A and B are shown apart, each in its own frame.
Chain A
Amino acid sequence: MKVLYNVLTEFVDIKAAPADLASRLSLAGVAIDSVEDSAAGPVLDAEVTANRPDCLGHYGIAREVAAVYRMQLKPVQPKLKEVADNAADATRVEIESPDVCRRFTARILRGVKVQPSPDWLRERLEAMGQKSINNVVDVTNYVMFELGQPLHAYDFDKLNERRIAVRRARPGEKLCTLDGAERTLTRDMCVIADATRAIGIGGVMGGTDTEISFSSHNILLEAAWFDPIYVRRTAKALGLRTEASYRFERGADPEMAELASRRAAELIQQVAGGELLSGVVDVYPSREPEKKIQLARKEILRVMGADIPDRGVEEILSALGFHPTRVDANRGSDGSLAAVWECKQVSWRRDVTRGIDLIEEVARHYGYDKFPPRLPPAKKPAHRLPHAEAQDRLVERAIALGYHEIVEIPIADTQRDALFREEGIQPAVIGNPLAEDASIMRSSGIVSMVRAIEWNLNHGNRDLRLFEFGKRYELRDGAPVESAVLTLGATGLAREKTIYETAREFGFAELKGALDQIGELAGGLEWQAGGPPWLSAARSAHFSAKNKGEQLGVAGQLSRRLAEQLKLRQEVYLAELKLEPLYTCIEATRAALRFVPWPRYPAVERDFSLVLADGVTFAQVEQTIRALAIAEIQSIEAADLFRGGQIPAGKYSLMIRVKFQSSQGTLTDSQLAEFSSRTVTALEQKLDATLRAS
């Protein structure tokens, strides 16, 4: 809210300069964002929190100023010149919806001269951010900014039967509001009506039919109180937020209504002349009884951890209007630990109802800076997240393998998400999305990974290796389920050409190698051919943890169809791993790690160059050799592979390297010869392999 320094000075004798005032107010809880000059003097821009509707008027801010400088707040005492005729004889007010409208006051002015406002009023309103309309409307707005109470002036002559009813809108009832829009009202809304029709929406906005124009002479001045929840609902339903609704929905002061009406009447007489009928029609069916709140020093100590002297407590609470009085047995003893103050609950602070609320009031004006800092001793050991260690290991691997971590917004395009969704998954759809391309909680990490790759390729970053720790979201039996996933994505060069090395394109083998190196942490991966439909049929796989059988994830090349659809012009490799089972495997593997001594006797390597039919796999070769159950075999590796040249079509050459080692002694030539011949024989017989002369 825009706060005019010169208006504040009418309520409190400020000596401080605007800048000093601004910083003191900020440190007491009324944040002042800036101080600027205007035709009406310095303007402070106050950011008022939702609990402080009292500070949506200058008077409330002035009360804060009074508390800051421990000064007196001046009372508002309008001086009225009333004629003999009674307002109560001129009009009638009925509240038919007392649940929504707890108070309605009406004053009548006759023969006012509606004209442009005088300069001082226009300048002040403009500095407050309000356009000047005419002198009467301007006064209602001015008093709202001054005292925080929204007001409305009706052209009294246009009120059918010159009376007011506050009632629920009739279904389908229509009203043209001051902003020129025709509104269709509902039963939930509360209208101000005359004998026949709605003339305003309670707490929100008046109607055009009865608005003040330059031809208006007689006016009815409304100052009322509307229920915050009702106003909030109504304003929201109509999409109509006004200065009035903004105040009512935060909670206006019902006691202020009549005073503000008096103040507005005073000002209207001042700027527009006319006669004020005597008295006010004030319908206030259920005035709240005055309540008390107690504040105990031991609570201050318990919550704040340090004391505030009696004088501080009392000066601050008095300045804020709470009327503190000591009610404990030790009254009169200054600084008593048993001190208890009884305070009045005030109508303008609906948020202050408990002792803790008063503690905050006292503490903020006493100064948060006066409480000594202290680090509380810990009583329990602190823990990281349950799988933090396993995640650390995974992150280390991924980074060492050259993958960059990304962080994605897990809200995806609905259609795009469906491309990568696992069968049978019910996605979590956002009911009120901001945009179509951000309308669903992603059902895989892949959809985001593809987005990141797409972004980079479109921005000239061709060689990518990325990973993300994130979640995928779904509904199961109508309940949301979030599961953690690790997603990998890669494209372009796996190795750039340098003066030392040649370039190498990223291929499936790169992805498999990376996953196997990651999988090593989990005790190794077991690969099976075939993957989801968004992967290329020839280059896709799924994998589980070795010896566990639980599926851990999928990997492969993005299918050509999708790559074309997404306009990705290079091969893209993707993998997604389910983190919960992976973490479990990593933790189990880690827990089972034990030192294994290496054999004391030397290892011997033997290479076998095999010619195999296409389709015979390395795994078959390995299994065939393993089936011989030669205990001395330490490892079997694929050392070289090629097609063409001297190798006939339909066949390929695979060189395998077998490492023999015994823990019993050095292997003899005859032992090795026997191993070799058994190996070759088995491969010849089982796989129809032939041995190439090497």
Chain B
Amino acid sequence: MTTSDPTAQTLEQLGVKTLEAVGEKFAELRQRFDDQSSLHFSNRENWQVFLVKWTGRKSGVLSQITNNWLKMASPELKPVVGQELNKLKAHVESIIAERQRAIEAASEQSAAARDKIDLSLPGIERSFGTRHLIRQTFEELQQIFIAIGFSVVQGPEIETPYYNFEALNIPEHHPARDNMDTFYIEGVRNSHLLRTHTSPMQIRTMEKEKPPVRIVVPGKVYRRDNPDATHGYMFHQIEGLAVDTDITFCDFKGTVEYFAREFLGPKTKTRLRPSYFPFTEPSAEVDATCHVCGGKGCRVCKFSGWIELFGAGMVNPAVYGFVKYDPERLSGFAFGMGVDRLAMMKYGVTEVPLLFQNDLRFLRQFP
């Protein structure tokens, strides 16, 4: 603080003796404050220095005046100095507050622009995996049947001809074997084959368990067909079997209808077309109203309104003979669904190979 700074000196030292002179001194200060506040307002650092210079507790202008001018003033000038000081203080404070508000408003504005999130940018995503469509479909199918009391069981894919054919009432040289060209395994003691359907588990289960039996069997099956867009030499099936003393064709129908509504939607209707499988009788193909057009006819259902779901029927009593069940007392139904076909139909997958290429672009489409 230089000695030229008037506020470092007392009024007496400044030679102020009259009331007028006091007023002039305060007017000068006020003018100085006004000039500087305008000058330093735009620069943040200077503004801070300016604030300290005027309002600092120890050596700010206002404190200096209080200490040097007011406290040291002669008794006759003291009241006037006090009044002038208060007026100056009020002026300084109001100007500073006003400027301060302006500064804050400005900085808030720029901060808001800076901090504002760009909602169109992606968030941070952790990469998640997916379940394969076939496995999702298996889960769904199993849940549908578990809910009505079917337990899930599994069996071997490398089977014996007995379980795959004979015990299912398909003796050697039966024409039904035409549709089930079979892969054989080399060099196995009792000849083995790759099962052509999940039906062998019907036999294995009934051999082990007493009725009531109610199972579904998910799994892989194999047929020696040259692969194309709609057939592979491996596909997935889910087999169902219910046997008890009181299972009838009506129960079979009810179960099939329940399934179709659960899987394809509550408005789905079903119909049974008589068919033939050696291990069921009566046998049926189960059709459902097309899930795409609802039965009006479209490209998916080839304009028939119906889509083929799977083959099924009442268990042929001949089968009970192989598992020592009493055919006069017991009855039941069985079905075998092509899971790949059901999944393709439901999700519009056009070609079988897509299911097993395991291309990431395919896998990602079914999270």
B-binding residues in A (CB < 8 A): 26-29, 31, 49-52, 228-229, 232-233, 249-250, 302-306, 354, 356-357, 359-360, 363-364, 368-369, 371-385, 388, 395, 398-411, 428-434, 438, 441, 452, 455-456, 459, 461, 464-467, 469, 471, 473, 475, 478-480, 482, 495, 498-501
Contacts and interface: CB of A to CB of B under 8 A. Distances in A.
Given A384-B146, A405-B135, A479 B189 contact: yes
Q: With a 10 A CB-CB cut-off, give which of A354, A382, A402, A499 has the most chain B CB atoms.
A: A382
B26 to A, nearest CB: 59
Interface string B45-66: 0000000000000000000000
A456 B257 contact: no
B212 A375 contact: no
A373 B149 CA distance: 17
A107 B134 CA distance: 60
Contacts, number: 250
Given A410-B220, A428-B158, A465-B129, 9 more contacts: A50-B178, A360-B274, A363-B274, A369-B271, A400-B129, A404-B132, A411-B222, A465-B127, A498-B122
A480 B192 contact: yes
Interface string B148-177: 111111101110000000000000011110
B192 to A, nearest CB: 6
Contacts of A306: 248-250
B36 interface: no
Given A380-B212, A431-B184, A407 B226 contact: no
B31 interface: no
A185 to B, nearest CB: 19
Given A26-B273, A385-B154, A406-B132, A304 B250 contact: yes
A84 B124 CA distance: 101
B281 A356 contact: yes
Interface of B: 121-122, 124, 126-132, 134-135, 142, 145-154, 156-158, 173-176, 178, 183-189, 192, 194, 212, 214, 220, 222, 224, 226-227, 232-234, 242, 244, 246-251, 253-258, 271-276, 278, 281-285, 314, 316-317, 331, 355-361, 363-364
A84 to B, nearest CB: 44
B282 A363 contact: yes
A360 B146 contact: no
A400 B212 contact: no
Contacts of B361: 461
A373 B131 contact: no
Contacts of A232: 173, 175
A429 B185 contact: yes
Given A405-B131, A430-B194, A382 B214 contact: yes
Contacts of B283: 360
Given A232-B175, A354-B317, A406 B358 contact: yes
Contacts of A51: 276, 278
Contact of A430 (B128, B183, B257): B183
Contact of B272 (A250, A369, A376, A383): A369
Nearest to A369: B271
Contacts of A455: 357-359
Nearest to A48: B276
A478 B39 CA distance: 100
Q: With a 10 A CB-CB cut-off, give which of B127, B134, B214, B357 has the most chain A CB atoms.
A: B127
B128 to A, nearest CB: 6
Given A407-B135, A409-B356, A441-B185, A364 B250 contact: no
Given A399-B130, A405-B132, A482-B156, A429 B173 contact: no
Contacts of B135: 405, 407, 469
A404 B130 contact: yes
Nearest to A429: B186
Nearest to A299: B328
A399 B128 contact: yes
B186 A368 contact: no
Contact of A475 (B132, B134, B188): B188
A385 B153 contact: yes
B271 A473 contact: no
B358 A456 contact: yes
Nearest to A482: B156
A404 B274 contact: no
B185 A430 contact: yes
A109 B61 CA distance: 144
Contacts of B233: 409, 411, 434, 438
Contacts of B129: 398-405, 465, 467
Main secondary structure of the interface of B (DSSP, over half): mixed
A375 to B, nearest CB: 4
B249 A404 contact: no
B249 A305 contact: yes
Given A375-B148, A467-B129, A501 B282 contact: no
Contact of A384 (B148, B152, B185): B152
Given A402-B128, A432-B183, A480-B158, A378 B175 contact: no
Contacts of B276: 29, 49-52
A499 B121 contact: yes
A29 B273 contact: yes
12 contacts: A27-B271, A354-B317, A368-B253, A375-B258, A378-B148, A379-B244, A399-B131, A400-B128, A404-B132, A456-B359, A465-B129, A473-B158
Contacts of A410: 157, 220, 234
A405 B363 contact: yes
B251 A374 contact: yes
A369 to B, nearest CB: 6
Contacts of B254: 373-376
B118 to A, nearest CB: 10
Contacts of B124: 498, 500-501
B185 to A, nearest CB: 5
Nearest to B333: A376
Contacts of A388: 152
Contacts of A380: 149, 151, 212, 214
A573 to B, nearest CB: 15
Given A51-B276, A406-B358, A433 B183 contact: yes
B273 A456 contact: no
A456 B356 CA distance: 12
A371 B149 contact: no
Contact of A408 (B145, B154, B356): B356
A525 to B, nearest CB: 20
Contacts of A433: 183
Contacts of B232: 409
Contact of B247 (A52, A376, A429, A461): A376
A51 B245 CA distance: 28
Contacts of B188: 428, 475, 478-480
B152 A383 contact: yes
A379 B210 CA distance: 13
Contacts of B355: 407
A408 B135 CA distance: 12
Contact of B282 (A360, A441, A452, A499): A360
Contacts of B281: 356-357, 360
Contacts of B126: 402
A484 to B, nearest CB: 10
Given A373-B254, A382-B214, A407 B132 contact: yes
B225 to A, nearest CB: 8
B176 A50 contact: yes
A-B residue pairs, 9 tightest by C-beta: A378-B149, A305-B248, A29-B274, A305-B250, A49-B276, A364-B274, A480-B158, A399-B129, A406-B358
A372 B282 contact: no
A368 B173 contact: no
Given A26-B273, A249-B175, A428-B158, A373 B253 contact: yes
B269 to A, nearest CB: 10
Contacts of A363: 249, 274, 282
Contacts of A52: 276
Contacts of B360: 404, 456, 461, 464
Contacts of A371: 249-250, 253
